[in-house]
Amino acid sequence: MGASYKKLWKLLIDRDMKKRDLCKQAGVSATSLAKLAKGENVNTDILVKICNALDCDFADIVEMVSDDSSKRRN
């Protein structure tokens, strides 16, 4: 199982936000967002900051996918 952050990117589009806007608002680095974009692991503190900035829950920005699904998407 792996994490997919497609929900986060869709949420940003729906809110007409750019990734750099999220970085500023959440107080996270561009490097952390780059890791999310690549589907890499990040500290849960980063996810908490993003959720606080967007006033949402983990389930609104991340979903668990099987490894087979994540390989097909890349």
Question: pLDDT by residue (tens digit) across 55-74?
Answer: 999 999 999 988 765 455 54
Percent of the chain with pLDDT over 90: 78
> What's 53's domain CATH number?
1.10.260.40
pLDDT category, 35, cuts 50, 70, 90?
Answer: very high
The count of structural domains within the chain is 1
What is the rounded CA–CA span in Å between residue 26 and residue 12? 13
What is the rounded average pLDDT of the residues 4-20?
96
The SS3 of residue 4 is strand
For residues 41 and 28, the model is more confident at: 28
**Which pLDDT score, from 0 to 100, does residue 4 have?**
92
Please tell me the distance from the alpha carbon of residue 55 to that of residue 52, in angstroms, as a whole number: 5
pTM here? 0.84
Residue 45: per-residue pLDDT:
96
Which domain does 57 fall in, by range? 2-73
